[in-house]
Amino acid sequence: MTESPTQQPNEPLKAGELRRGQAALIRYVAAGAANNALVGSTGALFLLSLGATPFHLGMLATFMQLDKIGRLGGAELMRHTGKGGIMLWGRLLAAPVTAGLALAAALGIAGEAAIWATILVLALRGALQQIGNAAWWPLIRDVTSAGSLGEFLGRMRSFQRLLELALPIAVGSWLGERPEPTRFAPLFGMGVIVLLLAAWWIRSIPERPMPPTQISLWRRVRQVVAVPAIRQFCLYLGIRVFLHSASFPFWVIVLTERGMPVSQFVWMTSFLAVGQLATLWFWGQLVDRRGPRLALRLPLVSIVLLAAMWLWLPDGSWSLLIWAAILHLAWGALEAGLQMGQSRVMVDAVPDDLQGEGFAVVIYASAIGGALGGLFGGLAFEHVATLGIDHADYMALLQVMTILPLFLCLRFTRRIPKSS
C-alpha cells in the first residue's frame, strides 16, 4: 500500500522496502495459517457435526474452488485500491461474515437448512478473501525483485508450516472425538481476530505501482490467455486440482469410517506441515539452481506410486494412526515440491504489465478444476459404494490418475522473460 509517487512500475523497490515488504507478507501468511487452522480446515468437520453427507462436503469443496473466480474482480479493483489495499479490504469484509458463523455455531442450530446456510457462509467468506488474494502473487513479485524467489518462499513457508504444525494439535484437542456444533464457536470467534490482525499487518506494505492501462479487463484477460506458457500451465493445474479436490476432501470420511477419531484426523494437518517443513529448503534450492521441472516431476511420480498405500488401509487403533501419519508426512513433502515448482513456472509465465490478470487467470483455471473435482468427487464417492467398490480403492484410483498432470508438465515451455 506504500509506494513512492515518483516510482515507475518496473523500478524495483529499495533494499529496506524489500525487507519490510517480506516481513509484512510473512506476518500476513502467519495470520493466514491461523485462519485456516481455526476455520478453513474445520469447516468440513463442522458440517459433519450438523449431519452433512459426502454430497454436502463435495458441494463445499466446489464452492470453495469457485470462490477463486473472485480474483478477477480483485485484479480490476486493485488498480484503484493498490495491491495492499485490496488485501486489507478482503480480510476486513470477511471478518463480520466469520463472526456470523461463530454466532450460528454458538446457538447450536442444526438440520438441512443449517447445513446449506453454513456452506453458503463459508463460500461467501472464501470469496471475499479471494478478492483480496488477487494481489498475493503480484506483491510477492514486488518484494522479491532483488532476491531469490525460492529462498523467500522457503523462508515464508517454513514459518507458515511451523504454525500449521502446532495449531492443529491444539484445535484437535479442543474438538475431541465427536464434537457438538457449539464446540466450534470459540474457534470461529478467534478466526475473526486473526482476520483483523492480517488486515492490520498488510495495511502499509511497500509495493510497486500498477502500470497504467486503458484496456478493458476482458481484453487484458484475452492477452493473458494468448501466452502459450500460461495456457499450458492452466491446463496442467486445472487437471491436477480436479484430481486433488475429487479425493483429498474425502480422506476425513474414509479414515473416520475405519475408526479414526475426529481429534486424530485434525492432528494429521500437523503431519502435513512436518513433511513440508522438512523439505522446503531442499525444494527451494532445487528450483533456484535447477529450475522447476524436477521439482514437479519427482512429486507427481511419487504421488502415483503412493497410491498403493490405500490398498493396505488398516482398521482402527494404532495401526491406522501410524498409516495416516506416514501418508500425511509423505503428502506434505510432495506438496511442498509441487507448490515450489508450480510457483516458479507461474511467476515466470505471467507478463509484468498483466500481473493481476495473469495470476487471476491461473487461479481461475485452478478454481474450475477444483469446483468440478469437488462436485464429481462428492457424487462419485457416494455412488462407488453402491457398485461394491471400497472407498479406499477409489482413493487409490484417483491418485494413480495423477499420471495425467505428469504427462502435461513434461510439455511445459521453458522459462520465458518477464515481459509483455
- Which DSSP string do the residues of 319-336 spell out, in sequence order? HHHHHHHHHHHHHHHHHH
Residue numbers in the chain where pLDDT is lower than 50? 415-420
Backbone angles phi, psi at 206, to 5 degrees: -65, 145
Distance CA(90)–CA(409), nearest Å, equals 33
Residue 367 confidence (pLDDT) = 82
Residue 109 confidence (pLDDT) = 80
Residue 418 lies in a domain: no
Residue 218 confidence (pLDDT) = 79
Distance CA(195)–CA(193), nearest Å, equals 5
If 0-12 CB within 10 Å is exposed, 13-18 middle and 19+ buried, where does residue 285 land? middle
DSSP string covering 154-184: HHHHHHHHHHHHHHHHHHHHHH-SS--GGGG
DSSP string covering 285-323: HHHHHH-SHHHHHHHHHHHHHHGGGGGG---SHHHHHHH
Residue 4 lies in a domain: no
Residue 51 lies in a domain: yes
Hey, what's the cell of 117? 446456510
CATH code of 396's domain: 1.20.1250.20
SS3 content of the chain, % helix, strand, coil (to 5): 80, 0, 20
Hey, what's the cell of 96? 463480520
Specify whether the CB–CB gap between 35 and 219 falls below 8 A: no
Distance CA(223)–CA(34), nearest Å, equals 37
pLDDT tens digits for range 90-130 = 999 999 999 999 999 998 888 899 999 999 999 999 999 98
Tally of domains in the chain = 1
If 0-12 CB within 10 Å is exposed, 13-18 middle and 19+ buried, where does residue 47 land? buried
Strand partners, 206: 2
Specify whether the CB–CB gap between 359 and 134 falls below 8 A: yes
Hey, what's the cell of 358? 495473469
Residue 419 confidence (pLDDT) = 41
Residue 6 lies in a domain: no
Q: At what angle do helices 112-133 and 54-66 cross, to 10 degrees?
A: 20
CA-atom Rg of the chain in angstroms: 21
Give me the half-sphere count of Cα atoms (radius 13 Å) on the Cβ side of residue 40. Answer: 19
Its pTM stands at 0.71
Residue 417 lies in a domain: no
Residue 2 per-residue DSSP state: B
DSSP string covering 100-139: HHHHHHHHT--SHHHHHHHHHHHHHHHHHHHHHHTTHHHH
Distance CA(237)–CA(345), nearest Å, equals 11
Range of the domain at 306: 15-409
DSSP string covering 203-260: TT-B-PPPPP--S-HHHHHHHHHT-HHHHHHHHHHHHHHHHHHHHGGGHHHHHHHTT-
Residue 100 confidence (pLDDT) = 93
Q: Is 416 helix (H, G, I), strand (E, B) or coil?
A: coil
Specify whether the CB–CB gap between 123 and 63 falls below 8 A: yes
Tell me which residue of 353, 83, 74 sits closest to 211, measured CA to CA: 353
Backbone angles phi, psi at 2, to 5 degrees: -105, 120
Specify whether the CB–CB gap between 44 and 252 falls below 8 A: yes
Residue 278 lies in a domain: yes
* Residue showing cell 477463486: 68
Hey, what's the cell of 272? 502435513
Residue 36 per-residue DSSP state: I
Give me the half-sphere count of Cα atoms (radius 13 Å) on the Cβ side of residue 101. Answer: 32
